[in-house]
Structure 1
Amino acid sequence: MNGRDSGADADDVVAALKEFGFSTYEAETFLALQRLGVGSARDVHELSGVPRSQVYGAAESLAEAGLIDVQQTNPQVYRPAAVEEVKDRLRSRFETRYDLVVDHLTDLADRREPTTEQRQDVWRIEGAASVASRAVKLLETADDEVVYVLGERTLVTAAEESAVRSLVDRGVEVTVVSPSADLRERFEATGAEALSPDVTDGSPAVSRILVVDDAGLLLSVRGREETAIWSLDTMFARTLSELVRESLVSFVGGFSA
């Protein structure tokens, strides 16, 4: 577009208007009229560079959208709608498109039948940062109770501590089990109950076992990098969560299933 606009760059404004469904010529015609106040097709062409033959069609579309007024003179003269009216029109245009997309996606999701594989999903992730991030997301789903077993050398993030603190503040019962005195002290500071296992001859490869409401589970082991499997709201998660809780009773003092 020719000329200069104060504030946002003209090309950026044209690009934004195109996101609302306007063509390039429509956007450039509208922007030119905003600068002119009132103008003919010739005026718009001279200011914006839009071919004069294209201004008429663009102006007709803009008028149908309620963004400009057309004075039926010879030649025709165009005037942009008031800024507040334009804002309302653009907002309505966006909301209409948004509702259309959301309604369509919702309809597709409602018609999709979940398969057995989808209901039994078990996911695998690698890398300590990814595992810790997933642990935080699972912790955030808790409503009643969390059991978090951490190995001696598990690298626990501040985000995990913060998530546990938030759960305690919400009244969720959180129990952390670890042979590491440092980790127990850190989680005690969040308000969680911290217990030490009675036995220490378990697999040193186990890094984390997280059980959330008997509905979510994360189990990670250490190799060259930390690797975990996790599941939420599946039969696998519920079954393994029960087994984990039962096994904790036998080697953690003060823990009850």
Structure 2
Amino acid sequence: MKENILDTLKNLNFTEYEAKAYLTLLQESPLTGYAVAKHSGVPRSKIYEVLESLTMRGDILVSPGSTPLYSPIPAKELIKNRRMKAEEHFELAEKSLAEFKKSANDRENIWNIMGRNEILDKVKACIITAQKRILLEVWKEEFEEMESELRQAAKRGVNVTIIAYGEIASDFANVYHHYMGQEITEEYGGRWIVISGDDSEVVAGIVSLGKDSRAAWTMHVGLVMPITEVMIHDLYVMEIMEQHKELLEESFGKNLVNLRRKFSIHPDFKKHYVK
């Protein structure tokens, strides 16, 4: 029993000698320094150093006189004081470490990621940390490699919305099949991936070039906001196409091909980002 109490006092920032001296005084007090050493087992050569440390910390009281007598503060008061001191330490740590949190979440940085596997790893990390919403624009090939992480996110209560290129089926996500997925695949000559996590971070890049694939990851609001809003705009267009496809195609051609050509700068009407 005594050993357990000594261990408890050590957890309250007592040294072994301090714990023995304080426990001795709890059992009998007031005592002289000599008596404390005799009953506690603390060496006489160390006892006054130990008692001074306890006095300075406020754990024991000393009466003035030619032969000082020592008494402990009550155990409840000791615990109360320790709790208050711990709260002060936590508050100070919280304030001090907040500056490091700001640095860790530096929203001014844009990080370059090279390699398809490395890009997908970063996308998965974004999925794992999301708490509210995931917007994901993805081809079937990449979706299959992160389906497990997306499913777990949905189980956590995260809203998962996918803009799908190719035949992607899901029982846990809101899937919007892009109305011109095949045409985009042909025109762009490659696949990309875009994810927005909680409207606070994005990963966007090309994933069809193997080791030469490249993407950017950032929390920079100047990029997070427009990229997220472009994805939401795609969702608007797909909702509109779902309701009014026939009417729109009368004006702009099948799958709005005339619009795509209108805003192309290349004679072949294809995209040449990937060279």
TM-score scaled to structure 1, two decimals?
0.62
1:235 CA displacement: 0.8
Alignment partner, residue 264 of structure 2: none
Shift of 1:95: 1.9
Indicate the residue corresponding to 1:219 in structure 2. 204
Give the structure 2 partner of residue 120 of structure 1. 108
Report the CA distance between 1:61 and its aligned residue.
Answer: 3.5
Unaligned runs of 5+ in 1: 19-25, 169-173
Which letter maps to 2:181? V
Matches within 5 A, 1:245-256: 254=242
Q: Which moved more, 1:68-77 or 1:153-162?
A: 68-77
1:1-257 matched pairs, under 5 angstroms: 6-7=3-4, 10=7, 14=10, 16-18=11-13, 27-36=15-24, 37-38=27-28, 40-42=32-34, 44-45=36-37, 52-70=44-62, 75-104=67-96, 119-124=107-112, 126=118, 128-137=120-129, 139-140=130-131, 142=133, 146-154=134-142, 155-156=145-146, 158-164=148-154, 166-168=157-159, 174-179=160-165, 181=167, 183-185=168-170, 189-190=171-172, 192-197=173-178, 198-200=180-182, 201=185, 205-206=191-192, 208-212=193-197, 216-220=201-205, 221=207, 223-224=210-211, 228-244=215-231, 254=242
- Quote the Cα distance in structure 1 between the aligned partners of 2:92 and 2:201: 34
8 A contact 1:67–1:89 mirrored in 2: no
Q: Pick closer, same or farther for the CA change 1:254–1:79 going to 2, 3 Å.
A: farther
SS at match of 1:7: helix
Counting aligned pairs with the same residue, the percent is 18
Whether the 8 Å contact between 1:127 and 1:225 is mirrored in structure 2 is no
The answer (yes or no) to whether the contact 1:148–1:211 under 8 Å persists in 2 is yes
Give CA deviations for 1:21-65 in whole Å, capped at 9, x if unaligned: xxxxx6233310244223543455467775535432432342343
Q: 1:54 to 1:228 in 2, by over 3 A?
A: farther
Higher helix share: 2
Is the Cα contact below 8 Å between 2:127 and 2:197 reproduced in 1? no
Post-superposition offset of 1:251: 8.3
Q: Deviations over 1:171-227 (max 9, x none)?
A: xxx53123464x532xxx33x421223323255553x31135765422253635986
Larger Rg computed on CA atoms = 2
Cross-structure match for 1:171:
none
Instruction: Tell me how far apart the structure 2 counterparts of residues 42 and 167 of structure 1 sit (CA, whole Å).
Output: 66
CA distance in 2, matches of 1:6, 1:81: 21
TM superposition score normalised by structure 2: 0.59
